[in-house]
């Protein structure tokens, strides 16, 4: 509806009418029952007298609206998620009382019931524009205001907001029956919070429930003592207690690193981090109250990659306290000012202030590979993206805004110099403190400190979409001395822009003492235009491998000279440096998905690398892209044979891996995803893991690993629904209910897939996390014949989904229900037909569907390429 989908023009018009100061007093009553709560908002603001505008509010009902003392007819002023405000005065007070609904989708005020103990947990998620699901508000980032919250809640709960508690009142009232999931009614308590500094509405937050808590303090660089707390569900407190001190330490290291790096101490009154269930994102940077998905509370063994990702996430959200919170973009086209900076600086802090020293290799393998894939879709967009409305914003929380933006910032640091870059950032933060800023505001400060022309740089890097390719060409004389080294830059025809790069060319050879491949020389230079001659290379010995973009300083695709490519494929596993391995491997993967490198060659190179790789995220993504190559890019006629071969190799590598190691855990977990119905050997092996008759020393059969095994057995129809029910009965928790519905959806039969498809679309009792598990379980079959049967049903459902589901749930369904393992020719035909018939559909919807269909176009292209070269590639 237009009222829900605020346009940029409407936001600009409202901004022109409203004047400062803007003050909110928000009173919430969370004691009324399990479905709804009462919200009363008092908004005081200035305006140009005689003008009209509107408040945003998504509510079940509005009980009353009072404007400047006059009670208005709700039916006349509230419609389409907006409250009309007409004939405003120079100074105004609006009071809105409404009944709002708890969500189970992670939007607005989410309500979760933990089945293990019956406890209820509430938390808010307001980005992009979901504060309006909890209180009446001018819900756009450039109408910053102060907020004062009061919350009535059960006596036994902890209630948190952006600011410290100012006072509490014990009340004689009782909660409504059912508020605590059937527990007896109890007395209530009123919590009053201190007034916030000036801030954007999407950064306000409320969390409430019987959370377990831990506390400490930080001696801030400005002399203040900042209270710090961490919270989680009671059911997770024992597991979380093992990591709390470590996570406090990581956070404190982040405080110190950021304050030193850009010269601005942490600006807010407190810093709480609360781990919450059923979250629809990774985390959210609410001022002083960061919410984080509680899958980051580790009850079972996890990969080192996930453990590192938790550290990066903690530091990412902390970085937002400056980038996004202290200084906020004016409109969502500058979302990158929040996300790219947080992603870049959190990786920098992880690498330089924690024990995760290979964080840039992690970034290359994980985040950058995400960006490269999205930047080669027709749906790509500039980092500074055109945002016409809120739906455009939703779909820009993507690999371009996060990963490409962060990679380009790393390039900008190399381009202007680190010291001058952060000097400019310090000026930017101080000049725009507690207010809003734009791209030009940032560039002005960086130009002043660096002396570089960054308007031209920005026009090519931030305001144009697409990715360049840099190829290396080298010639040498009879003595092996380089006579010429040329870097050639190319651009895709749809985005024909050549960019300036500051990069390094690395020379790599074998160290005769260790047998490792090491860097023996490095040349750093500016690259601009189509051809760049590396003059400093002339006369140097030609190395075994020349690596353009050594140290991963810039954002580009790479193509090697012939000798370097052959050497990389034969020796990748011997490279000593984790970042060099990541850059080379990502380039080989990119060539594979472009149909320039045989799938079987990529598979063989990756399997060999997995025997020695120790950087966990590179290991994880190598396994993931190996799977994509096997199941999508190989010759379809050879696919099952290749898959069985890869599964056998993974199992052999797992047996050779160090007992209890991350590599062992990842290899066995990956092996479990290679099941094909009718493979009795696979079934017997997996059953042996579950029963304990097959044991990998050091590999514990813990809760999550048991569910991985159950999922593997379901995928080949080696268990029944009763087995899934029995496994859930062993331990009925929030997480295990998600695993259980996902495992049921994975059962390899039409009956199970029909059930999963229907549940995903029509079971409104599923939480957002359960919905995601069901959708992924449905679409995760390797059986093309089974998946083919749902191609038409999927495309027929899209319009209904878009009309009847919230944006986040639509995104999950349209993305995860896509039957990607179906015959790509059928997916392409049906997808192209749908797109041709929906040329006028909402841009956000088109972007989701195009991403799926274009992936199938690529699958067909690459699979056909590998079929055409046959076994000659091996």
Q: Residue 287's closest CA among 157, 168, 194, 392?
A: 194
Q: Given pLDDT bands bounded at 50, 70 and 90, which one contains residue 180?
A: low
DSSP state of 103: B
Omega prior to 128 cis, within 30 of 0: yes
Residue 604 has pLDDT above 50, yes or no: yes
Q: Rounded to whole angstroms, how far apart are CA atoms 132 and 851?
A: 30
- The model's pLDDT over 166-177, given as tens digits with 9 standing for 90+, comes to 999 999 888 887
Helices (H), 417-549: 418-431, 439-450, 454-461
Q: Rounded to whole angstroms, how far apart are CA atoms 276 and 17?
A: 38
Q: Rounded to whole angstroms, how far apart are CA atoms 100 and 38?
A: 6
Omega prior to 339 cis, within 30 of 0: no
Paired tokens of 545: 């491998």
Q: Same structural domain for residues 9 and 129? A: yes
- The model's pLDDT over 714-745, given as tens digits with 9 standing for 90+, comes to 999 999 999 999 999 999 999 999 999 999 99
Domain of 82, CATH number, reads: 2.60.40.1730
Q: Rounded to whole angstroms, how far apart are CA atoms 704 and 242?
A: 18
pTM for this prediction: 0.96
- Location of structure tokens 């059953």: 687
- The model's pLDDT over 635-664, given as tens digits with 9 standing for 90+, comes to 999 999 999 999 999 999 999 999 999 999
Strands 289-293 and 271-276, how do they pair? parallel
Q: Same structural domain for residues 626 and 662? A: yes
- Location of structure tokens 């990581």: 250
Q: Residue 392's closest CA among 850, 3, 844, 851?
A: 844
- The model's pLDDT over 558-591, given as tens digits with 9 standing for 90+, comes to 999 999 999 999 999 999 999 999 999 999 999 9
Domain annotation covers residue 607:
yes
- The model's pLDDT over 301-345, given as tens digits with 9 standing for 90+, comes to 999 999 999 999 999 999 999 999 999 999 999 999 999 999 999
Q: Same structural domain for residues 787 and 654? A: no
Active site residue 423: no
Q: Three-state SS for 770?
A: helix
**Under 8 Å CB-to-CB from 697, ≥6 apart: which residues?**
659, 660
What values do phi and psi take at 435, rounded to 5? -135, -165
Q: Given pLDDT bands bounded at 50, 70 and 90, which one contains residue 395?
A: confident
Domain annotation covers residue 314:
no
Q: Give the H or E element holding residue 37.
A: strand 36-47
Paired tokens of 74: 């709700």
Q: Are 251 and 279 spatial neighbours (Cβ–Cβ below 8 Å)? A: no
Q: Same structural domain for residues 163 and 14? A: yes
DSSP tally for the chain: helices H, then strands E: 30, 29
Q: How many domains does the chain have?
A: 6
**Which residue among 160, 176, 209 closes a domain?**
209
Structural domain range at position 829: 750-874
Mean pLDDT computed over 209-230:
98
Q: Rounded to whole angstroms, how far apart are CA atoms 381 and 392?
A: 11
Q: Same structural domain for residues 449 and 493? A: no
Q: Same structural domain for residues 664 and 739? A: no
Sign of the C-alpha dihedral, residues 733, 735, 741, 746? negative
Helices (H), 698-823: 703-715, 721-730, 734-746, 750-762, 768-779, 784-788, 791-804, 807-816
Q: Rounded to whole angstroms, how far apart are CA atoms 496 and 342?
A: 29
Domain annotation covers residue 863:
yes
Residue 498 has pLDDT above 90, yes or no: yes
Paired tokens of 738: 């998600």
Paired tokens of 863: 């699979």
Residue 183 has pLDDT above 80, yes or no: no
Q: Rounded to whole angstroms, how far apart are CA atoms 170 and 156?
A: 11
Query: What do you get for the CA distance between the two ends of the chain, in Å?
Result: 55
**Which residue among 722, 748, 774 closes a domain?**
748
Q: Rounded to whole angstroms, how far apart are CA atoms 810 and 10?
A: 24
Residue 873 has pLDDT above 70, yes or no: no
Domain annotation covers residue 54:
yes
State the helix-helix crossing angle for 599-610 and 616-628, rounded to 10 degrees.
150
**Under 8 Å CB-to-CB from 339, ≥6 apart: which residues?**
324, 397, 401, 402, 405
Q: Same structural domain for residues 20 and 146? A: yes
- Location of structure tokens 């012939």: 562
Q: Same structural domain for residues 431 and 544? A: no
Q: Are 863 and 635 spatial neighbours (Cβ–Cβ below 8 Å)? A: yes
Mean pLDDT computed over 82-99:
98
Catalytic position from the list 317, 367, 615, 649: 317
The tally of CA atoms less than 13 A away on the side-chain side of residue 702 is 12
Paired tokens of 70: 């006059």
Domain annotation covers residue 238:
no
What values do phi and psi take at 822, rounded to 5? -70, 165
Domain annotation covers residue 239:
no
Q: Three-state SS for 54?
A: strand
Paired tokens of 472: 């290396």
Q: What is the predicted pLDDT for the residue at 525?
A: 96
Q: Same structural domain for residues 153 and 27? A: yes
Q: Rounded to whole angstroms, how far apart are CA atoms 473 and 478?
A: 17
**Under 8 Å CB-to-CB from 512, ≥6 apart: which residues?**
none
Strands 206-209 and 158-161, how do they pair? antiparallel
What values do phi and psi take at 155, rounded to 5? -55, -35
Q: Same structural domain for residues 812 and 849? A: yes
Q: Same structural domain for residues 612 and 722? A: no
% of the chain at pLDDT higher than 90: 94
DSSP for 508-535, written as a single string: EEE-TTT--EEEEEEEEEEE-SSEEE-G
Q: Residue 365's closest CA among 647, 652, 613?
A: 613
Q: What is the predicted pLDDT for the residue at 182?
A: 59
Q: Residue 340's closest CA among 198, 504, 462?
A: 462
Mean pLDDT computed over 839-846:
94
Q: Rounded to whole angstroms, how far apart are CA atoms 252 and 292?
A: 17
Residue 2 has pLDDT above 60, yes or no: no
Q: Same structural domain for residues 874 and 734? A: no
**Which residue among 157, 184, 209 closes a domain?**
209
Domain of 495, CATH number, reads: 2.60.40.1840
Strand order in the sheet with 289-293: 212-219, 225-232, 271-276, 289-293, 283-284
Q: Residue 484's closest CA among 492, 472, 476, 496?
A: 476
Average pLDDT, the chain: 95
Residue 1 has pLDDT above 80, yes or no: no
Mean pLDDT computed over 363-387:
93
Domain annotation covers residue 646:
yes
Paired tokens of 732: 């009925």
Domain of 359, CATH number, reads: 1.10.390.10
Domain annotation covers residue 36:
yes
Q: Are 852 and 831 spatial neighbours (Cβ–Cβ below 8 Å)? A: yes
Q: Given pLDDT bands bounded at 50, 70 and 90, which one contains residue 523?
A: very high
């Amino acid at each position: 509806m237009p009222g829900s989908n605020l346009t940029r023009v409407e936001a600009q018009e409202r901004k022109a009418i409203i004047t400062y100061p803007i003050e909110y007093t928000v009173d919430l009553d969370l004691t009324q029952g399990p479905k709804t709560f009462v919200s009363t908002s008092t908004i005081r603001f200035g305006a140009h007298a005689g003008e009209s505008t509107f408040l945003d509010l998504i509510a079940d009902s509005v009980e009353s609206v009072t404007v400047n003392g006059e009670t208005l007819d709700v039916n006349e002023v509230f419609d389409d998620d907006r409250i009309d405000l007409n004939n405003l005065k120079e100074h105004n007070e609006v009071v809105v009382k409404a009944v709002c609904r708890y969500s189970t989708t992670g939007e607005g005020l989410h309500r979760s019931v933990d089945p293990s103990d019956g406890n209820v947990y509430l938390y808010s998620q307001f980005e992009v524009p979901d504060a309006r699901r909890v209180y009446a508000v001018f819900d756009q980032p450039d109408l910053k205001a102060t907020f004062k919250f009061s919350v009535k809640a059960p006596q036994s709960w902890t209630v948190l907001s952006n600011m410290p508690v100012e006072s509490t009142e014990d009340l004689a009232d009782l909660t409504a029956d059912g508020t605590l999931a059937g527990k007896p009614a109890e007395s209530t308590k009123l919590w009053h919070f201190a007034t916030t500094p000036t801030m954007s509405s999407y950064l306000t937050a409320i969390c409430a429930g019987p959370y377990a808590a831990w506390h400490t303090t930080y001696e801030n660089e400005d002399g203040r003592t900042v209270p710090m707390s961490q919270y989680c569900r009671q059911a997770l407190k024992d597991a979380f207690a093992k990591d709390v001190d470590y996570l406090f330490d990581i956070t404190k290291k982040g405080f110190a690193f950021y304050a030193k790096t850009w010269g601005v101490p942490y600006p807010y009154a407190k810093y709480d981090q609360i781990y919450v269930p059923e979250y629809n994102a990774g985390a959210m940077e609410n001022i002083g109250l960061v919410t984080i998905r509680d899958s980051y509370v580790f009850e079972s063994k996890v990969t080192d990659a996930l453990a590192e990702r938790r550290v990066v996430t903690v530091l990412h959200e902390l970085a937002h306290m400056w980038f996004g919170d202290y200084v906020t973009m004016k409109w969502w086209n500058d979302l990158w000012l929040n996300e790219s900076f947080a992603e870049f600086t959190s990786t920098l802090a992880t690498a330089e202030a924690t024990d995760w020293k290979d964080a840039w290799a992690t970034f290359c393998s994980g985040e950058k590979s995400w960006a490269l894939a999205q930047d080669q879709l027709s749906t790509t967009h500039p980092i500074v993206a055109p945002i016409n409305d809120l739906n455009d914003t939703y779909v820009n929380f993507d690999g371009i805004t996060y990963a490409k933006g962060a990679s380009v910032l790393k390039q900008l640091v190399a381009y202007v110099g680190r010291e001058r870059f952060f000097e400019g950032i310090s000026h930017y933060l101080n000049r725009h403190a507690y207010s809003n800023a734009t791209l030009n505001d940032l560039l002005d400060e960086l130009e002043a400190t660096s002396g570089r022309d960054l308007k031209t740089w920005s026009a090519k890097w931030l305001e144009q979409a697409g990715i360049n390719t840099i190829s290396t060409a080298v010639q040498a004389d009879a003595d092996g001395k380089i006579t010429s080294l040329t870097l050639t830059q190319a651009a895709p025809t749809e985005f024909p822009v050549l960019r300036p790069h500051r990069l390094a060319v690395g020379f790599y050879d074998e160290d005769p003492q260790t047998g490792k491949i090491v860097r023996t020389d490095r040349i750093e230079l500016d690259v601009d235009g189509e051809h760049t001659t590396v003059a400093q290379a002339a006369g140097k010995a030609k190395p075994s491998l020349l690596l353009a973009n050594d140290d991963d300083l810039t954002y580009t695709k790479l193509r090697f000279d012939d000798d370097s490519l052959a050497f990389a494929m034969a020796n990748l596993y011997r490279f000593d440096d984790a970042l060099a391995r990541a850059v080379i491997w990502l380039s080989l993967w990119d060539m594979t998905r472009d149909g320039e490198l045989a799938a079987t060659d990529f598979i063989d190179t990756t399997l060999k690398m997995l025997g020695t790789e120790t950087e966990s995220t590179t290991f994880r993504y190598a396994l993931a892209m190996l799977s994509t190559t096997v199941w999508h890019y190989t010759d379809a006629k050879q696919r099952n044979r290749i898959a069985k071969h890869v599964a056998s190799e993974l199992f052999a590598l797992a047996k050779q891996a160090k007992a209890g190691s991350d590599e062992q855990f990842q290899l066995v977990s990956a092996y479990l995803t290679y099941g094909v119905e009718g493979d009795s050997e696979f079934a017997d092996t997996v059953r042996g893991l579950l029963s304990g008759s097959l044991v990998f020393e050091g590999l514990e059969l813990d809760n999550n690993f048991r569910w991985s095994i159950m999922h593997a057995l379901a995928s080949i129809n080696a268990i029944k629904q009763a087995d899934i029910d029995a496994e859930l009965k062993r331990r009925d928790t929030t997480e295990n209910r998600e695993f259980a519905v996902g495992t049921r959806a994975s059962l390899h039969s039409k009956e199970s897939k029909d059930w999963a498809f229907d549940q995903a679309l029509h079971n409104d009792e599923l939480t957002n996390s359960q919905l995601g598990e069901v959708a992924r379980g449905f679409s995760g079959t390797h059986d093309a014949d089974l998946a083919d049967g749902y191609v038409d049903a999927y495309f027929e459902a899209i319009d209904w989904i878009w009309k009847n589901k919230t944006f986040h749930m639509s995104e999950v369904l349209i993305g995860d229900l896509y039957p990607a393992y179906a015959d790509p020719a059928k997916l392409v035909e049906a997808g192209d037909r749908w797109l041709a018939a929906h040329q006028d559909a909402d841009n956000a919807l088109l972007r989701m569907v195009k991403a799926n269909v274009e992936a199938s176009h690529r699958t067909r292209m690459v699979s056909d390429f590998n079929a055409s070269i046959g076994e000659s590639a091996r």
